[in-house]
């Protein structure tokens, strides 16, 4: 259930504007415009769903990781993503939306989550490419969110970013090991980079002139940089790392344009992006099916946990009275 807030009077609006202007945090107790609340719920819930759905492409490789050490690292990484989802759902809950409602929106196919998780992971090298490119893009996008104006979101992002840095390094290290291996391993690594490069650039969202939410989100200091600015920063991070790895980035047009002070690149295939957003990416239906089944299969765990909490509460006399009064 989404909380209705009053429209706010001029003094409340002024106090909100002053907090934003002074780089102070808005907290759940503070008055905030309805549109600010709705924007945060939209972004944070989409972000939480991305973390949860994002467990699937890599979860696919836990049983097949090439060594015990790789398996343990991958398992820890996928568990981290579950944790990120939980912090983010909790941050969204402080805005008045329930976890059940968000879950319902996701499994009914009404909620967005990141386009990137609708691509398949056919080889072990995909684990390297996801870590290096997808988690790398996540870091570029999410480090500035540590300074988001909404307190619970910004604070959740601090720990998430620390963990994403580890994820990015483990992906880089997987690719480095493959690139130092046999010709077949090098080919596998390059193939994975070729497949994940463009989708990872799409993660930053549509170009600035086609991003309906950016201007307002930046004015509210939720977003600190535009989609294109972050995409540029990401390419700047990748280029020297690709050299160290010995992989090529699959864009013949890519070069630093010193005059313009930016990376010149080929046009991104935005038709593909919109197809994925419309549910027609290579793995959209599989991702939702798996999430729905996990939710249904976990019903007994939720019931057991609720019953356990009820019984524990009944052991505390004051709470027992409340339960009896309600019965
Ligand atoms: N995938 C799916 N939808 C996307 C998208 C993407 N890559 N990029 C943009 N969109 C959607 C937006 O959500 C918006 O939809 P809506 O208006 O219906 O809600 C629409 O496209 C227009 O885009 P805008 O640029 O106007 O939207 P935003 O201002 O919200 O910017 C964003 C999009 C940059 C993704 C921003 O919401 C954001 O920074 N979100 C937080 C980070 C996040 O959610 N990352 C997802 C990846 S999580 C992850 O990487 C996990 C890690 O473990 C790898």
Segment 218-274, tens digit of pLDDT: 999 999 999 999 999 999 999 999 999 999 999 999 999 999 999 999 999 999 999
Residue 157 near residue 145 (C-beta atoms within 8 A): yes
Ligand 1 atom nearest the C-alpha of 81 is 53
Which of 142, 9, 170 lies closest to 76, judged by CA? 170
Contacts of 80 (CB under 8 A, 6+ apart): 163, 166, 167
Percentage of residues in the chain having pLDDT higher than 90? 93
Residue 175, SS3 per DSSP: helix
Tokens linked to 136: 């790398």
HSE (side-chain half, CA atoms, 13 Å) at 290: 15
CB 198 within 8 A of CB 254: no
Q: What is the pLDDT at residue 324?
A: 64
**Domains recognised in the chain with CATH numbers:** 11-315 (1.20.1260.10)
What is the predicted pLDDT for the residue at 7?
64
| CB environment 231-255: b (16+ within 10 A), e (fewer) | bbbbbeebeebbeebebebebeebe
Please identify, by atom number, the ligand 1 atom nearest to the C-alpha of residue 51: 51
Residue 135 has pLDDT above 70, yes or no: yes
| C-alpha 114 – ligand 1 centre gap (Å) | 6
pLDDT at residue 323 tops 80: no
Phi-psi region of 261 (alpha: psi -120 to 50; beta: other; left: phi over 0): left
DSSP string, 190-250: HHHHHHHHHHHHHTT-S-GGG-TTHHHHHHTTS-SS-HHHHHHHHHHHHHHHHHHHT---S
Is residue 117's pLDDT more than 70?
yes
40 Cβ inside 6 Å of ligand 1: no
pLDDT in tens, 265-320: 999 999 999 999 999 999 999 999 999 999 999 999 999 999 999 999 888 877 66
Tell me which of 45, 46, 268 to substitute to probe ligand 1's pocket, judged by most ligand atoms within 8 Å of the beta carbon.
46
CA dist., res. 126 & res. 233, Å (int): 23
Q: What is the pLDDT of residues 158-194, one digit of tens each?
A: 999 999 999 999 999 999 999 999 999 999 999 999 9
Maximum Cα interatomic distance, the chain, rounded to a whole number of Å:
74
Q: Is 138 in the pocket of ligand 1 (CB under 6 A)?
A: yes
- Is pLDDT above 60 for 3? no
Determine whether 272 is exposed, middle or buried from the number of CB atoms within 10 Å of its CB (0-12, 13-18, 19+).
middle
Distance CA 116, CA 277 (A): 10
Instruction: Dig out the tokens for 180 from the structure.
Output: 């130092």
Q: Is it the case that residue 4 has pLDDT exceeding 50?
A: no
Nearest to 200, CA basis, from 238, 143, 144:
238
Ligand 1 atom nearest to 167, measured from its CA: 53
Question: Is 214 close to ligand 1, i.e. is its CB under 6 Å away?
Answer: yes
pLDDT for the residue 316: 81
> For ligand 1, what atom is nearest to the CA of residue 213?
26
Token pair listed for 234: 């990401």
Rounded to the nearest integer, the mean pLDDT of the chain is 95
């Amino acid at each position: 259930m989404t909380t209705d807030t009053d429209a706010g009077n001029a003094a409340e609006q002024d106090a909100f504007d002053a907090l934003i202007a002074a780089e102070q945090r808005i907290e759940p107790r503070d008055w905030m415009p309805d549109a600010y609340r709705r924007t945060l719920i939209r972004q944070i819930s989409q972000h939480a769903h991305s973390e949860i759905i994002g467990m699937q492409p890599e979860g696919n490789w836990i049983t097949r990781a090439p060594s015990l050490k790789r398996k343990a690292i991958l398992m820890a990484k996928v568990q981290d993503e579950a944790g990120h989802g939980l912090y983010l759902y909790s941050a969204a809950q402080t805005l008045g939306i329930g976890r059940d409602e968000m879950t319902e929106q996701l499994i009914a196919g009404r909620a967005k989550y990141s386009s990137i998780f609708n691509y398949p992971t056919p080889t072990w090298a995909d684990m390297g490419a996801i870590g290096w490119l997808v988690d790398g893009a996540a870091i570029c996008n999410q480090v500035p969110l540590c300074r988001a104006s909404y307190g619970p979101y910004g604070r959740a992002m601090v720990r998430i970013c620390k963990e994403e840095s580890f994820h990015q390094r483990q992906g880089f290290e997987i690719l480095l090991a493959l690139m130092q291996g046999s010709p077949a391993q090098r080919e596998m690594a390059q193939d994975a980079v070729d497949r994940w490069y463009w989708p990872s650039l799409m993660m930053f969202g549509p170009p600035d002139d086609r991003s309906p939410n950016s201007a307002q989100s930046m004015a509210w200091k939720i977003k600190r940089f535009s989609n294109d600015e972050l995409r540029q920063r990401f390419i700047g991070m990748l280029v020297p790392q690709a050299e160290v790895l010995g992989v090529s980035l699959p864009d013949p047009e890519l070069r630093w344009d010193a005059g313009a002070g930016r990376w010149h690149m080929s046009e991104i295939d935005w038709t593909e992006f919109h197809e994925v957003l419309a549910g027609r990416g290579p793995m959209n239906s599989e991702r939702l099916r798996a999430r729905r089944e996990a939710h249904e299969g976990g019903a007994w765990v939720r019931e057991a946990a609720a019953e356990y909490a009820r019984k524990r509460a009944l052991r505390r006399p004051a709470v027992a009275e409340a339960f009896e009064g309600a019965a």
